[in-house]
Amino acid sequence: MSEQSAIKKLDVESADIDASFPGHLLRNARKSMGLSKEDLSRQLYLTPRILEAIEIDDFSTISNAIFARGYIRNYARYVGADSDVLINAFDHAYGRPDHIAKPMVTITDIKKQASSGDTWVRASTGLFLVIFVVLTLLWWQGQNVTLVPAAINKVMVNDEQGHAVVAGSEATTASIKPADQTLGLAQLDTETESASPDSTQSNSFIEQSELVQISESIVVQDNNKVTVTDQTESPGGIDMSTVDAVSISDVQVSQSIANLADVVDTAVVQSANEAQLLMVFDNDCWVEVKNGDGNVVVASLLRTGQTVDMAIVAPVELLLGRVSALAKITFDGDNIDLTPYIGKDVAQITLGK
Amino acid sequence: MLKKIRGLFSSDLSIDLGTANTLIYVRDKDVVLNEPSVVAIRSHGTQKSVAAVGRDAKRMLGRTPGNITAIRPLKDGVIADFHVTEKMLQHFIHKVHEHSWLTPSPRVLVCVPCKSTQVERRAIKESAMGAGARDVFLIEEPMAAAIGAGLPVEDASGSMVVDIGGGTTEIAIISLNGVVYSESVRVGGDRFDESIVSYIRRNYGSLIGESTAERIKQEIGIAYPSTEILEIDVRGRNLAEGIPRSFTLNCNEIMEALQEPLSSIVQAVKSALEHSPPELASDIAESGIVLTGGGALLRDIDRLISEETGLPVIVAEDPLTCVARGGGRALQMLDEHTFEMLAKE
């Protein structure tokens, strides 16, 4: 009867458990059962010290919370108390050990992982594809744009009256081969920027004079403007008098079309970081010119009497096969002293460092 | 290489590959799968296919037509049927990753009985690899159980854990992250069921199935005499008449039926205590024995062991999932801790 009342009392009081563990409830229950600490110790195989610790709420002598919880359960079960309530009180007072199982989560509770059928996965895949296609198109367009200047080369020729005549060629650098020396302006898509009645005449004249004769000797790369003037030779039978008649004063050559203008006395438009390089040869000489961008601008055998006059990005690296063949060399208007190279055949000169 | 990529989309798992139940703990989550270790195999002539796994397959146990066989691929804590175990693990790993759109390739920690042989451990490792794991680690069950129960395994004090599983009972004394002494007896929940079946056949002349025996054990099974009498109505086939008969069993009868397997466990516990070094035995006498595993849920089994050994015995919180949770914690420690807790192959 006393046991029953103890349980009842314990259940009633368990409702208002505060922050401390209600060990006194267990002690009361034990006493009401008429059990001494030693009696209970023999029943539960727990030392009286542990029972005392539980009853006075001093768990410092119990090393591990897991054991403390287990002892409380055993104690409560023996005296007929609700062990769950007491364990909750213990957790409330001392904290729940973190490794104790939480209620088992089921597979459906697991955060859903991405699947190929998800809308956002499909949307992001689609977006990625669109971005990829757009980037590919942009890249392709960029490739085309770089080809444009090479595709339409223009030669600006000022005729006698000062009218500008522009000859455009659809040929690319690659398509102009040294063998294609007969390439006349008839093949060029002629257009007149400032309309002139003489433009057609000028064209036909240039065609007649077969100006494109010495392209074999010039290799033009990049955007350097190269003018090679041949004053003595006209392999194709250039009639200088007719050239004079037209007095073409200005030819702007861009990229590969330079060979069209190499017999014409030209002036080259010079940009800010460019310098003027002039070389006059009185003998045959192999010349290789590399501009500041590291591109080889000229790599050819220049004949006696030929002149290289170009605007070029500094610094310039020159490789001359025969220094003695060089009659004159100026860079940016200054004469270059060739005395250190006297007696040598090959010279490597860097200009405009 | 591909496994590594797939591994990025897989969670690390700790698997308690038990004779009765397989539990899977997912790292940073919790135990997410608790399914019976049963596979139903359908035969088409010489070809075989998996008909059901887990709970569905367990329902088929003892109720299958001729072309379906419901089997338990693990026996006494070790693999009895390698290929079926592999299929079962594959199914469970996929089930845990069922929302993933890549074939999972997780790192897996599997618990093995401490007395399992090298061949048995190799078989468990191979079957986990075959099920798609990219790395397999093994840990001894009592060690995992002790970690899962929250015992101070890293302390220089002895802790004794008794893990009563489906096929085996593992007893170990643990100190400083290592197993000082371990004992394994091939007695567990299955043996309890078998004992109940044979008791009823002997005393009631009726035959009941394993599932019914398990239900009896769970509902009225008791290990120590109690004043409270529990009863259950059971239907079984009467052997003499050949027709189903109903009869009532009480908990004291079941306790009598369980005497033999229970005494084996008690003997093993006593043997372990006998072999423990005196310092550790003193620690255990002070703090007590911790019970884990499904067998610890048998009513008053702690009382029985306590009375038999004279030591305090406590049942761990949620004893069924202790091993899986302990494996999970070991898995978390794997990256930052030493590997000394892991079992050697």
DSSP states along A222-278: TT-EEEEEESS--TT---HHHHHHHT---EE--GGGGGGSTTS-------TTEEEEE
Interatomic CA distance for residues A251 and A261, integer angstroms: 6
Burial class (CB in 10 A: 0-12, 13-18, 19+), A110: middle
| Nearest beta carbon to residue A101 from set B98, B311, B318 | B318
Q: Which residues of A touch B148 (CB under 8 A)?
A: 99
| Nearest beta carbon to residue A110 from set B32, B315, B329 | B32
Test the B interface: residue of A46, A64, A71, A78 with most B CBs within 10 Å: A64
Per-residue pLDDT band for A102 (boundaries 50, 70, 90) equals low
Measured at the alpha carbon of residue A79, what is the angle toward residues A75 and A82, in degrees to the nearest 5? 80
The shortest C-alpha distance from B285 to chain A (Å) reads 9
The shortest C-alpha distance from A95 to chain B (Å) reads 14
Per-residue pLDDT band for A195 (boundaries 50, 70, 90) equals very low
Residue spans of beta strands (DSSP E) within B253-328: 289-292, 313-315
| Nearest beta carbon to residue B95 from set A71, A97, A107 | A107
Encode chain B (345 residues) as per-residue pLDDT tens digits.
566 666 666 678 899 988 888 999 988 788 888 899 999 999 888 888 888 898 888 888 878 888 888 889 998 888 899 989 998 998 888 888 766 666 677 889 999 888 888 998 999 999 888 888 888 889 999 999 999 998 988 888 899 999 999 889 999 999 988 889 998 999 999 999 999 999 999 999 999 988 899 999 999 999 999 888 999 999 999 999 889 999 999 999 999 999 999 999 999 999 999 999 999 999 999 889 999 999 999 999 999 999 999 999 999 988 999 999 898 888 877 766 555 667 766
CB contact under 8 A, B150 and A44: no
Q: State the pairing for strand pair B231-238/B206-207.
A: antiparallel
User: In chain B, what are the helix, strand and coil shares in percent, each to the nearest 5?
Assistant: 40, 30, 30
CB contact under 8 A, B310 and A66: no
Q: Which residues of B touch A112 (CB under 8 A)?
A: 99
Residue of A nearest to B9 (CA): A113
Query: Which phi and psi angles does B226 have, rounded to 5°?
Result: -135, 155
Q: Is B24 on the interface with A (CB under 8 A)?
A: no
CB contact under 8 A, B148 and A115: no
- The residue with greater pLDDT, A258 or B185, is B185
ipTM for the assembly: 0.82
Test the B interface: residue of A61, A96, A107 with most B CBs within 10 Å: A107
Q: Which residues of A touch B310 (CB under 8 A)?
A: 45
What is the pLDDT at residue B339?
Answer: 54
Q: Is A99 on the interface with B (CB under 8 A)?
A: yes
The residue-averaged pLDDT of A13-17 equals 47
CB contact under 8 A, A45 and B288: yes
Burial class (CB in 10 A: 0-12, 13-18, 19+), A299: middle
What is the pLDDT at residue A25?
Answer: 86
Q: Is B148 on the interface with A (CB under 8 A)?
A: yes
> Using CB atoms and an 8 Å cut-off, which of residues 278-317 of chain B contact chain A?
286-288, 290, 302, 306, 310-317
User: Is this model's pTM higher than 0.80 or not?
Assistant: no
Residue identified by tokens 């063998």 is A179
Interatomic CA distance for residues A64 and A48, integer angstroms: 17
Test the B interface: residue of A83, A102, A104 with most B CBs within 10 Å: A104
Q: Is B98 on the interface with A (CB under 8 A)?
A: yes
Q: Is A88 on the interface with B (CB under 8 A)?
A: no
Interatomic CA distance for residues B151 and B316, integer angstroms: 9
CB contact under 8 A, B150 and A70: no
Q: Is B318 on the interface with A (CB under 8 A)?
A: yes
pLDDT more than 90, % of chain A? 5
Q: Which residues of A touch B33 (CB under 8 A)?
A: 107
